[in-house]
């Protein structure tokens, strides 16, 4: 009987706080709902919360690392815990805290809420959390502690100062306070200087990658340390993985050169060496990344760039911002010199962005619905002698498939009208320079004799679409009991309340 009771208690994974409230745990992670959320923020000084969706692949990948951190934090502190919220169930909480994608991770600390945007390994989480709840830099008093700390993380930035109250040390700490996901260490102990063969007032980056150690040159200022950190934060060529993705895409460097390659390829190491040689010229300006096309999940990225496995190895260049700008080299040569020239030309504004386009089908205008691709879009949609209604769709989109027969009927109705064109474009493989399509289907109207573009938001019925065309894009018809039409936001299987985040 006693053993059964113990088993039940273990399975429930619950603990009771002194005031009598109970929280349920799963792998040391507190399970929160709208009923106990505020209670947790009251009971603990610091709470990290993952807003997740059960179907989200990224959430599933994160779970083991998150559990490791939850256990470490629970063992090392009494006022900090990790928690999770099923945002598909607790929609009120998700809306309150602005959850747009999964997983979204927030840190609640002393009435403040911080967005977690660092990496997704246990080490990344621990470094970030310790920065929030502890000293901004670890002070080392002896060689033994220094040896232990230096090997804790993939990157440790170590300040060696003769006086911890000096201006140099203050600049070091000022930058340390501003960088949440890197471990900073500081010392003034001469024995530690000797251990690492360092003279006073130096900043050293200890790395578990590349050359292992880098020394900062120049004056010790927060700006110089930041620039030094940008050059040493990641391997000179970094593999894209679920663990590295946050560091790559949430970092300060927004220009990325990406190599798509199979790690099984005989010339893999030779290709990476060429990348390293080119990358050394752009440290702190451009991240050099490779994506292993042997990984099934990475094939989605190939599709996004309109690429096929047979084209690899190949490189693309992207600039992150409000809109993603992509560049494709004219040459397939992947030598260091060719890559360097390609990157430098982009930085100098000598390269034009690359827009995907299928080839123009031979029968693109054979049917009532005209088929547009990137290469014929302007000549058809921008033809001012006609009014053109275009559906931008994705082949996998359920809402697009539902609209297809209605779109065919609409085109048939206007087939005999010489100045009206009903068209469609697959936006997963075709792009237009000044149009950014993020939802499917998106419907846009290009009125005759005008430069303006009208976004259609009416019902997706034949009646509504006809009214819209007859009014020359002025009437958005909605049935009295109809709500706004749904759209797919880029996730297979239909619209969801939020997207998975990479």
| 400 classed as catalytic | yes
Instruction: Name the packing angle between helices 222-232 and 167-178 (round to 10°).
Output: 50
Strands 286-292 and 255-261: parallel
**Backbone angles phi and psi of 443, in degrees to 5:** -120, 125
Separation CA 202–CA 331 (nearest Å): 44
Alpha carbon 100 to chain centroid, angstroms: 12
Q: Is 397 one of the annotated active-site residues of the chain?
A: yes
448: its two tokens? 């005759």
Q: Which of 82, 380, 381, 400 is catalytic?
A: 400
What's the angle, vertex CA 492, arms to CA 100 and CA 64, rounded to 5? 60
Of 286, 290, 234, nearest to 259 by C-alpha is 290
Specify which residues 107 forms β-bridges with. Answer: 48, 114
The CA-based dihedral angle spanning residues 65, 123, 144, 188, taken in that order and rounded to the nearest 10 degrees = -160
- Which helix (DSSP H) or strand (DSSP E) does residue 406 occupy? helix 398-413
CA distance 403 to 393: 10
Write the burial class of residue 321 (CB in 10 Å: 0-12 exposed, 13-18 middle, 19+ buried).
exposed
User: H-helix or E-strand containing 425?
Assistant: strand 420-426
Q: Which of 32, 56, 275, 346 is catalytic?
A: 56
Catalytic residue among 29, 30, 49, 59: 59
| 385 token code pair | 């002698």
Burial of 362 (0-12, 13-18, 19+ CB in 10 A): exposed
10: left (phi over 0), alpha (psi -120 to 50) or beta: alpha
Supply 59's token pair: 């959430």
Beta strand residue intervals within 188-342, DSSP E? 202-207, 213-215, 238-239, 255-261, 286-292, 314-319, 325-327
Comparing C-alpha atoms, which of 241, 221, 237 is closest to residue 229?
Answer: 221
Per-residue burial over 220-257, b = 16 or more CB atoms within 10 Å of its CB, e = otherwise: bebebbeebbbbbbbbbbbbbbbbbbbbbbbbebebbb
* Residue closest to 217 by CA, chosen among 236, 207, 204: 204
CA of 281: how far to CAs of 286, 287, 288, in Å?
9, 11, 11
Asked if the bond preceding 313 is cis, omega within 30° of 0, the reply is yes
Kindly list the catalytic residues: 56, 59, 397, 400
């Amino acid at each position: 009987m006693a053993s059964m009771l113990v088993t039940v208690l273990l399975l429930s994974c619950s603990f009771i706080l002194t005031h009598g409230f109970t929280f349920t745990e799963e792998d040391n992670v507190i399970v929160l709902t709208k009923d106990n959320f505020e209670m947790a923020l009251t009971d603990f000084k610091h709470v990290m919360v993952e807003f997740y969706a059960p179907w989200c692949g990224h959430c599933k990948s994160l779970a083991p690392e998150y559990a490791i951190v939850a256990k470490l934090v629970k063992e090392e502190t009494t006022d900090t815990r990790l928690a999770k919220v099923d945002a598909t169930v607790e929609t009120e909480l998700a809306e309150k805290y602005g959850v747009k994608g999964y997983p979204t991770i927030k840190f609640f600390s002393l009435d403040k809420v911080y967005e977690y945007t660092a990496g997704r390994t246990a080490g990344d989480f621990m470094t970030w959390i310790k920065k929030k709840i502890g000293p901004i830099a670890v002070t080392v008093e002896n060689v033994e502690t220094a040896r232990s700390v230096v090997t804790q993380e993939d990157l440790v930035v170590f300040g060696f100062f003769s006086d911890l109250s000096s201006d140099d040390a203050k600049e070091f700490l000022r930058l340390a306070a501003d960088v949440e996901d890197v471990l900073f260490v500081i010392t003034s102990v001469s024995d530690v200087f000797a251990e690492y063969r360092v003279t006073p007032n130096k900043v050293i980056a200890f790395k578990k990658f590349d050359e292992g150690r880098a020394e900062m040159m120049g004056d010790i200022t927060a700006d110089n340390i930041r620039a030094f950190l940008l050059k040493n934060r990641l391997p000179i060529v970094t593999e894209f993985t679920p663990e590295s993705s946050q560091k790559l895409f949430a970092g300060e460097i927004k220009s990325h050169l990406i190599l798509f390659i199979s790690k099984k390829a005989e010339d893999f190491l030779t290709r990476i060496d060429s990348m390293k040689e080119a990358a050394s010229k752009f440290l702190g300006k451009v991240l050099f990344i490779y994506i292993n096309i042997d990984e099934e999940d990475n094939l989605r990225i190939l599709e996004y760039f309109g690429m096929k496995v047979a084209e690899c190895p190949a490189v693309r260049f992207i600039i992150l911002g409000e809109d993603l700008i992509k560049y494709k080299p004219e040459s397939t040569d992947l030598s260091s010199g060719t890559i360097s020239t390609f990157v430098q030309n982009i930085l100098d504004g000598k390269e034009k962005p690359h827009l995907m386009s299928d080839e123009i089908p031979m029968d693109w205008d054979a049917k009532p619905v005209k088929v547009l691709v990137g290469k014929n879009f302007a000549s058809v949609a921008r033809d001012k002698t006609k009014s053109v209604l275009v559906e931008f769709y994705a082949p996998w989109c359920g809402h697009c498939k539902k609209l297809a027969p209605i779109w065919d009927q609409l085109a048939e109705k206007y087939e005999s009208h010489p100045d009206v064109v009903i068209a469609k474009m697959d936006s997963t493989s075709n792009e237009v320079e000044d149009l950014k399509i993020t939802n499917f289907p998106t419907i846009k109207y290009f009125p005759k004799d005008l430069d303006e573009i009208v976004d259609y938001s009416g019902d997706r019925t034949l009646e509504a679409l006809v009214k819209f065309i007859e009014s020359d894009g002025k009437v958005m018809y909605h049935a009295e009991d109809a709500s706004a039409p749904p759209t797919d936001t880029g996730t297979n299987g239909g619209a969801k309340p939020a997207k998975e985040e990479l």
